[in-house]
Amino acid sequence: MRAPSIMVQLREPFFCTFQRSVLMAAYAYSVDIWLPLLAATILAALGIYTWRRREMHGARPLAIAWLCSATWMLATAVEAAAINPATISAWHMFGAMWRLPAATATACFALEYAQPGRWLTRRVVALLTALPLLVALLVLSNDSHQLLWRLTVEHDPTIPHMEVGSVIAVIYIVVLAVVQVSALTWLFVRSPQHRWPVALMLLTLLITRTVLLAVFIFPISNAEPDIDVVVALFTAGMYAIALFGFRMLDPLPAARQTLVEQMHAGVVVFDAQLRVTSLNPAAERILGVYNREARGRTWHELARPGAALPDLPSATPQQRYEESDELTIGYMGQARQYAPLLSELQDFRGLAVGYVLVLRDVTEHLQTRTRILEQERALAMLREREQLARELHDGVAQMLAAAHFQAVTAKLLATNGQRSQLEACLDSLADTTLQAEGDVREYLMGVKSSRSNQRALFPALRDYLARYEKQYNLPVALSVAPELEAKSVSPALGLQVLRIVQEALTNVRKHAPQPAAGAAPLCHVQIIFASAGDEVRIEIIDGGNGFDLAASDKEGHYGLRAMEERAAVIGGRLAVISSPGQGTQVSLVVPWGNGPTAPNAQEG
């Protein structure tokens, strides 16, 4: 038990008494100093921590409250070590100066924390700080401190006799407590994210103010300083839980909560048994059920009467789903598509404690994507038709024109009776029409192969090669690197590569040596797909008759031009090596993967 604090009536200014008491060094060690020193240290640490977060709403007044309380506890510790009555009285009054500022700063914190920028105006601050400033002036003035308290010999000298000023101060503290309770209760009702820290603050406020009011009404000899220290430690402990446990002044939880509440995507939180624990407002609109009604239900139990919800994707941690796996949720014909993202929630031990489902509305996105794909498809069809028109004009159209010229020539030769020239002309006409028929058939065969699988290049190519071998009795060996088989290819890239291979094989057919009837083919073709980093090298090698590349360039060979144009469309490089009697090698190097950002090609 600490020594009695003997208060004396001072007849000189407080500054002089306080200065002389400090210089007198009338102190002695006492175990009673450690508890208030501990309280002062904790309160100062909380004040520094709070001040470092002074940009948060309410942090500044709370930091001031901590520092005022820390000064009060420090004065209490020094008072416990003092042995001179004047020194005890001086330190007691110095500590008492910080009680009202601490209570006022705490009330300002509650107002600013509950409604930032609205309740704690400059006028309110001036009104709340008026009485603490007046009390401080009374304490510091000569003899005016006796308006607050004094000791008389008629009663126990260790029990302060409260004057009218002290009673007013106590009433003021009670009024501040009512203001704090009102503001914090309003916040508790309005903001679910603040309920736990607000509940701790309300509990602390009710307990501490009840204890202090009881001590004021029923004073206990020499017990007031000890009770003040215990109340200060209890308050510091409860607020520490709110600060560090519930991160009261940390903007991240508030930002996360605000983001979840205001985001347009629906957020559904499940427990470990996949029962709903929370819905954000967007999820309430999507599912048509209120948060309080959804708690404890399973996903399918959230469905409206007469409707059903699609199955959830498997709850794999951080699993992401492609937009092709949308969930269709709707009612009364108002179905919309949502891209789901189901993630596992883990605690600090790595154990699953629940799941969170994010539903992102992709209805407009899918509709826009569909319109863009239709436009790209139409544009690709036009481009492909233009390309085919040029190829047909350079190939079949020229053959038909030549056939017409040969027919006219044959007619003239028949009229003139030139039988030998007529037979040669008719043979040439038959070869021209046969070649035109072969080109048309090959074009139709290529179109059919392309349509057979618009998204897979190699199945379409194998289908085409099988018909090509059967049609022209020309064996073709296809070799594809295993890593290329599993890699996806954009339809635009796949179609252009397929067309280039078809054109190269058409040239092989035209320049290949013709075997005798029933004999084995004299020409073999190799098609090789090999990886080259981010590119793919395609080699088409045949052992045919070959041709003069220089002469072909002068003649404007339409097949080579068509392959070069198609290679340029997909960002590739084409090289042709050939000479008479040495066969031909066509090399194509193209970027692979999803190919260039060209429109999806479709046949017309």
Mean of all residue pLDDT scores within the chain: 77
Are residues 109 and 62 in contact, defined by beta-carbon separation less than 8 angstroms? yes
Alpha-carbon distance 115 to 119, whole Å? 6
Report residue 543: phi and psi, to 5°: -105, 35
Kindly calculate the radius of gyration of the chain based on its CA atoms and give it in whole angstroms: 46
* Collapsed DSSP state (helix, strand, coil) of residue 517: coil
Instruction: Using pLDDT thresholds of 50, 70 and 90, give the confidence band for residue 157.
Output: very low
pLDDT of residue 204: 93
Burial 141-170 (b: 16+ CB within 10 A, else e): eeeebebbbbbeeeeebbbbbeeebbeebb
- Mean pLDDT, rounded, for 160-189: 81
Sorting pLDDT into bands at 50, 70 and 90, what band is 453? very low
Query: Per-residue pLDDT tens for 90-115?
Result: 787 788 788 889 999 999 999 999 88
Strands 476-480 and 525-532 turn out to be: parallel
Angle at 36 between CA 33 and CA 41, to 5 degrees: 115
Cα 522 from Cα 499, distance rounded (Å): 25
Q: How confident is the model at residue 141 (pLDDT cuts 50, 70, 90)?
A: low
The token pair that represents 490 in the structure block: 């954009």
76 or 415: which carries more pLDDT confidence? Answer: 76
Q: 42 vs 452, which has greater pLDDT?
A: 42
Fold classification of 379-591 (topology level): Heat Shock Protein 90 (3.30.565)
SS3 436: helix
Question: To the nearest whole percent, how much of the chain has pLDDT over 90?
Answer: 17
pTM value surpassing 0.85:
no
Residue 86 phi, psi dihedral angles, 5° rounding: -65, -40
Greater confidence (169 vs 484) lies with 484
Of 156-160, 208-212, 280-284, 482-486, the range with the lowest mean pLDDT is 156-160
Is the pLDDT at 237 greater than 90, yes or no?
Answer: yes
Give the model's pLDDT for residue 198. Answer: 92
Q: What is the pLDDT at residue 452?
A: 45
Each residue's pLDDT tens digit, 25-83: 567 788 889 999 999 999 999 999 999 988 888 899 999 999 999 999 998 898 888 88
CATH superfamily of 260-361: PAS domain (3.30.450.20)
Q: How far apart are CA 260 and CA 266, in angstroms?
A: 9
**Out of 187-201, 309-323, 417-431, least confident range:** 309-323
In this predicted structure, what is the pLDDT of residue 336? Answer: 84
Secondary structure (DSSP) of 175-194 = HHHHHHHHHHHHHHHH-GGG
Looking from the CA of 509 toward its CB, the CA atoms found within 13 Å total: 23
Q: Greater confidence, 589 or 329?
A: 589
Residues 199-217 have a mean pLDDT of 87
Find the range with the poorest average confidence among 41-50, 75-84, 246-255, 352-361: 246-255
Q: What is the pLDDT of residue 293?
A: 87
**Which residues are registered as beta bridge partners of 360?**
339
The band of 597, judged by pLDDT with boundaries at 50, 70 and 90, is very low
Predicted confidence (pLDDT) at residue 537 exceeds the cutoff of 80: yes
| Dist. CA 514–CA 337, nearest whole Å | 59
State the pLDDT confidence band at 505, using cuts at 50, 70 and 90: confident
Q: Lowest mean pLDDT of 100-104, 503-507, 573-577, name the range.
A: 503-507
Q: What is the mean pLDDT of residues 375-399?
A: 68
What are the phi and psi torsion angles at 296 (to 5°)? Answer: 90, -10
Mean pLDDT score, 335-349: 80
Residue 329: strand pairing partners: 336
Q: CA-to-CA distance for 604 and 447, rounded, in angstroms?
A: 9
Domains 260-361 and 379-591 equal at CATH topology level: no
Task: Give the contacts of 407 (CB within 8 A, at least 6 positions apart).
Answer: 429
The predicted pLDDT at position 361 comes to 87
Which pLDDT score is estimated for 520? Answer: 62
Q: Is the pLDDT of residue 590 over 80?
A: yes
Q: What is the pLDDT of residue 316?
A: 47
Tell me: domain 27-249, CATH 1.20.1070, correct? yes
Name the residue ranges covered by the structural domains of the chain.
27-249, 260-361, 379-591
- Phi then psi for residue 32, to 5 deg, are -70, -10
Please provide the DSSP assignment of 315-342 as one string: --TTEE--GGGPEEE-STT--EEEEEEE
pLDDT digits (tens, 9 = 90+) for 4-13: 443 444 444 5
Q: Judge whether residue 528 has pLDDT over 60.
A: yes
CA angle 267, 270, 273 (to 5 degrees): 160
* In the chain, % of residues over pLDDT 70: 73
Between 87 and 348, name the one with better pLDDT. 87
What does the pLDDT read at residue 167? 75
